[in-house]
Every structure is written in structure tokens, then in C-alpha cells.
Amino acid sequence: MNKKKQNLFIFENSNHFNYEKNKSNLNISFNRIAFIFFVFLALAFIFSFKAIYLGSLDNNIYDKKIINSDNRSTIIDREGVIIAKSVITKNIGINPKLVIDKKRLLINLQLIFPNKNYEKIKKKINGEKFFYFQKKISQEKYDELILLGDKSIITEQKISRIYPHKNLFSHIIGQIDNDNNGISGIEKSFDYELKTLEEQLKLTLDTELQYIIREELNYFTHIFKNIGSAAILMNINNGEILSMVSLPDFNLNKREKIKDVNYINRASKGVYELGSVFKTFTIAAALNEEIIEPETEFKNLPKSTTCAGRPIREYDMEIPSNLTAEQILIRSGNIGSLRIAEKIGIEKFKSFLENIGILNKIDFDIEEVGEPIPFKWGKCKLATSSFGHGITTTPLQLAKGYSIIANGGYNIKPTIIKKYFKEKDKKNKILNEGVSEKINLILRKIVSTKEGTANFANIDGYEVGGKTGTAQKSENGVYTKKKINTFVAIFPTVKPKFVLVVLLDEPKLSKEYVYHFKDGSGWKLKGTPYNTAGWTSVEIAGKIIEKIGPILATKY
């Protein structure tokens, strides 16, 4: 009995001892679990809050930072078509130090990008420096690369400036550098606005018209083998430029340094002697001063004369000796233009050219503008300037001058910016009443009559008027056989709306091109007989007006 009790006691004691020990262990374990649980709960709360915060943002912090520092406003045409836009793009680079299997990586890259130069890439992978493998990568190619799971492939996210139309607006839009600063064109002139304003920058240009005109210039480059060309289409009443093309051009997306001077913006920066297109200014100045009327007769005009011992001749030796002022312009007479300029005098003729914006550097929306070459006025300079020899200007200024002469005499300021940052200019009449009406009738006859020099621009339904100009290029002060052929069209002449300037730099004769005459005879001629504006620039202008006419009629 006692033994049993003792045993029981021992059992009970043993039980009691074990119980106390387990209780202590349980308390310690519970405290540890509670502490760990609290830590995890706190971390979960912090990460959840962070995730909710980040999820509420429009973009992740990295993207937001990029956009705030590097974004530029979108540039659109007058119809809202995007011309330039900043987008987030991905660049892919490779860190050679992280490559595990170079052979395998090269094989995988070649499967995804079969057209790259892998001799160069192999050398870079065997080196130690990070290098860019593909910039502005497409999402499809990016996904394929990421699936490779190679740690050496590095992704860089960046804001990139893209130009959907590539070459189409290259001279106008201009370029930016690697630091996102504009270095030419609109990108430079409106650098501050494009960086700071949220609004889109709207231009006066029409993408459809720009495309058509550029296509025609490109096509005829193959016909006349000219080294360059330019065209400007402008509203003569408000100065809005609907199209401005200069060839050759360049792809803005490649962001290459353009060092070749042949890539100059011929439309606004090119400074040229333009020849007989100046004769219109001579007649207009005389009409404005009321020195002549279109019917004023000039008799016994010689075929040649001299000034300071230098000869001045007619380009067409068959031109009649007796001509009215109107006929002098229609038949593009040099001696007749000289006689009219003598009646005007140096001061009045110079003042007229200055008023219509021909002689001085033009104020324009982009910095790439040329400055006419200054000269000293005198009797001989007045004589030669009257028919466009020895006097220079830019095609942009030529377009402005013709617009003023044709629009009723109102001063205009050419622009490629839809009045977005500026107030509209007030109309200022600088020519006398009736000058435009008289000039426009003569310009129409230059295109519509057999005696005129611009018959190939006589497109049915558009009442085209205009003037041709053929000039020799001067190099190092010496005149060469190289030509600058220009045609300025005004249409419709009854109530003018548009001016179109077409310039060809060093065109050549074409043996194969077929001309279709506009006189209703159905007559054709194969081959260019003369390297003059009437056979080159006029032909192009006619083709352009034929294509853009229906668009202008419906849209403007």
C-alpha cells in the first residue's frame, strides 16, 4: 500500500514537474510567434500601403521623372496630324561582364535580329564595355529578348522624339540633340515653348499638300537632274504657309549630323539671283508711282545696250522693238524693263523693294533664313536689278513680294505657326489702289497667251497667272552656265488666294521627257529644247497645281 502510494506520489511529482516545464516552453514559443507575427503584419501593412500609393499614380516614378525632365510638346499640322511627338521607348544594351555563354547569346540574338552585323557585335561582346545593341526597340522584339532570360541584356527606358513622316518636314521641324535641346528649325526656335507648355504646337502646314508637292519635286529631280529644288505654297492674304519643301532632305528619326551644304533649306535660307521674276516688281513699282499704265508704249527698243562698258542684251532676239509696258512683262523684255526702271529712279525703286520685303533679311519663325547680299546702288545696278540680274533674295521673300503685289497691296508676314503664341497681325495697305488688279491681269496673260513664257502652267479651271525667271549662277564672282530656274504662280488671278514658288537648282536638259501642250492641239514634244524656267519650273508647277487644285478648292 505504501509502495503503491509512493509510486503514485513519484508519478504525480513527475507529472507535476513535466507540466511546469512544458508550460514555461509554451509561453516562450507563444511570445516568439506573436513577435514574428507582429513584424510580418507591420511589413505587410507597409508594402500594401506602398503598393496602393504607387498604383494610384498615372505612371511609375521612373517614367514620371523622365516625362517631367525630357518631354516635349507634340507638333501637329493644321488638320491635327501629328508631325513630331515624344514617346517612351526602350533601348537594349549588353554588359559583356555579365555574359555567361557568349556563343549561345550570339546565336539567340541572330535569330531575333538576323540583319545586324554580328562581326562587330562579337567584338563588343568579347570586350568589357557596355554597348547599345538596339535603340527604340519594338515591343515584339523586346518581349523576345526578355524571354531569353540573359542577365547581360540591360533595358533602358527613355523618352524619344519621333517623327512619323520621316523626311517630309525635315527642314521645317529641325532636330534636337542628345540632351533634348532643339538645334534647328521649329525644334530650336520654339524650344522653350515645346519644353514648358502642355498644349500642342499647331502649324499652318498641310501634310497632304506637303506630300504631293514633295513627290512632284522628287519625280522631276530624276527628269532634270537638278542638284536641289524648293517649293513654297502660301496663302497670299494672311501669309500662312501650307507647304514648304526643300530637296534634298533627310530623315529626322536618324538624327544624323548634316554637314553637306547641299542639304540647305533652299526655300528660306537659299539666297539666289532669280532673274526675270524681278521684272514684275519693276512694272508694279512703276504702276504704284503712277509713272506708267499697262498700255504705255515704249518704242524703238534696241536688242542690246551697254552700261559702264558692259553689254545688256535681250534673251529673245526676236522680241519686237515696239512694246507696251504690259507686253514687256509678258514677253520678258530686258531692255524694256530697264527703260521702265530708269523712269522710276533709284530711290523709289529701292524703297519699293524694301517695302515688299525683298532686300532685307526676313523675320521668320525659324532661324534658318538667308540674307540678301548687300550692294551699292548706281545707274548700272538699277538697270540690271530691273530684270533680276545682280540682285539676290530668297524664295520665301519672293513669295512674300508676289503676295503683296497680288493681294491688293496689303503687307503680310509669312508664317508656319498657326496663330497660337502670337496675336494676328493687322492688315496694312502699302500699295496704291488698283495696282494688284493691273498686275494680276498681266500675270494671267503670261500663262494663257502664246506670247507668254509660262503656258505649261495653264491648268483649266484655276486661272493661273505667274512669271518665269532664268538666271545664271555666280561662283566666286564669276557667272557660270549653271542655272537657277524659277516660276512664281498666283491663282486664281480673278480673286487671288495662293502663291506657289517653284525653284530648281542647276537643272539639265532632258532628252526623254514628253511635254503635252495646253493649247488644245494635243501636240506633244519629246525632249527639253531650252534649259529655261518656262520648260522646267513651269512644267513642275503645272503638275503640282493640277494635283493640289481640287484639295485647295474643297478645303480652303
23 pLDDT band, cuts 50/70/90, is: very low
Q: What is the tens place of the pLDDT at every residue in 377-388? A: 999 999 999 999
Q: Is 535 in a helix, a strand, or coil?
A: helix
* Cα–Cα distance, 324 to 262 (Å, whole number): 42
Q: What pLDDT does 20 receive?
A: 46
E-strand ranges in 163-300 read 201-202, 228-235, 241-247, 272-273, 297-298
Q: What pLDDT does 45 receive?
A: 61
Question: Averaged over 411-426, what is the pLDDT?
Answer: 77
How does strand 75-76 pair with strand 201-202?
Answer: parallel
- Residue 67's nearest CA partner among 217, 235, 221, 180 is 180
* Cα–Cα distance, 548 to 207 (Å, whole number): 12
* Cα–Cα distance, 213 to 204 (Å, whole number): 16
Confidence check: pLDDT of 15 > 60? no
Confidence check: pLDDT of 475 > 70? yes
At residue 515, what are phi and psi to the nearest 5 degrees?
-95, 140
Confidence check: pLDDT of 81 > 80? yes
DSSP 254: G
Q: What pLDDT does 517 receive?
A: 94
11 pLDDT band, cuts 50/70/90, is: very low
Positive or negative torsion for Cα 95, 99, 103, 108: negative
Confidence check: pLDDT of 397 > 90? yes
Confidence check: pLDDT of 74 > 70? yes
Whose grid coordinates read 530648281? 504
Q: What pLDDT does 179 receive?
A: 85
Confidence check: pLDDT of 552 > 90? yes
332: left (phi over 0), alpha (psi -120 to 50) or beta: left
Question: Averaged over 221-233, what is the pLDDT?
Answer: 98
* Cα–Cα distance, 24 to 18 (Å, whole number): 10
Of residues 1 and 283, the one with the higher pLDDT is: 283
Confidence check: pLDDT of 249 > 80? yes
Judge if the upstream peptide bond of residue 311 is cis by omega within 30 degrees of 0.
no
pTM: 0.82
Domains in the chain with CATH codes = 64-97+129-202 (3.90.1310.10), 209-555 (3.40.710.10)
Question: Averaged over 269-283, what is the pLDDT?
Answer: 98
Question: Averaged over 507-536, what is the pLDDT?
Answer: 95
Q: What pLDDT does 29 receive?
A: 57
Residues 305, 270 contacting (CB under 8 angstroms): no
Q: What pLDDT does 6 receive?
A: 39
* Cα–Cα distance, 234 to 211 (Å, whole number): 15
Say what percent of the chain tops pLDDT 70: 86
Question: Averaged over 453-460, what is the pLDDT?
Answer: 97
Of residues 57 and 173, the one with the higher pLDDT is: 173
Of residues 252 and 256, the one with the higher pLDDT is: 252
424 pLDDT band, cuts 50/70/90, is: low
Confidence check: pLDDT of 435 > 90? yes
Cα-to-chain-centroid distance, residue 530: 32
Confidence check: pLDDT of 1 > 50? no
Q: What pLDDT does 88 receive?
A: 86
Q: Is 152 in a helix, a strand, or coil?
A: coil
E-strand ranges in 112-215 read 131-134, 153-162, 201-202
Number of Cβ within a 10 Å radius of residue 300:
6
Distances (CA, A) of 430 to 122, 285, 288, 408: 69, 12, 10, 9
Confidence check: pLDDT of 4 > 90? no
- Would you state the cell numbers that stand for residue 342, as one nine-digit string? 530708269
Side-chain-side CA neighbours of residue 93 (13 Å): 13
* Cα–Cα distance, 65 to 303 (Å, whole number): 73
* Cα–Cα distance, 341 to 380 (Å, whole number): 11
- Most confident of the ranges 59-73, 408-422, 462-476: 462-476
Say what percent of the chain tops pLDDT 90: 77
Side-chain-side CA neighbours of residue 438 (13 Å): 24
From first CA to last CA, the distance across the chain in angstroms is 125
* Cα–Cα distance, 393 to 291 (Å, whole number): 26
Q: What is the tens place of the pLDDT at every residue in 283-321? A: 999 999 999 999 999 999 999 999 999 999 998 888 999
- Which residues, in sequence order, are CB contacts of 6 under 8 Å at separation 6+? none
* Cα–Cα distance, 435 to 545 (Å, whole number): 25
Q: What pLDDT does 57 receive?
A: 40
* Cα–Cα distance, 173 to 185 (Å, whole number): 5
Q: What is the tens place of the pLDDT at every residue in 185-213? A: 999 999 999 999 889 999 999 999 999 99
User: What is the residue-wise DSSP string for 23-80?
Assistant: HHHHHHHHHHHHHHHHHHHHHHHHHHHHHHHHHTSSS-HHHHHHHHHH----EE-TTS
* Cα–Cα distance, 507 to 284 (Å, whole number): 29
Confidence check: pLDDT of 30 > 70? no
Of residues 353 and 36, the one with the higher pLDDT is: 353
Of residues 89 and 28, the one with the higher pLDDT is: 89
- Would you state the cell numbers that stand for residue 517, as one nine-digit string? 501642250
- Most confident of the ranges 114-123, 127-136, 392-401, 473-482: 392-401
2 pLDDT band, cuts 50/70/90, is: very low
Question: Averaged over 46-75, what is the pLDDT?
Answer: 52
Question: Averaged over 99-114, what is the pLDDT?
Answer: 94
Number of Cβ within a 10 Å radius of residue 116:
13
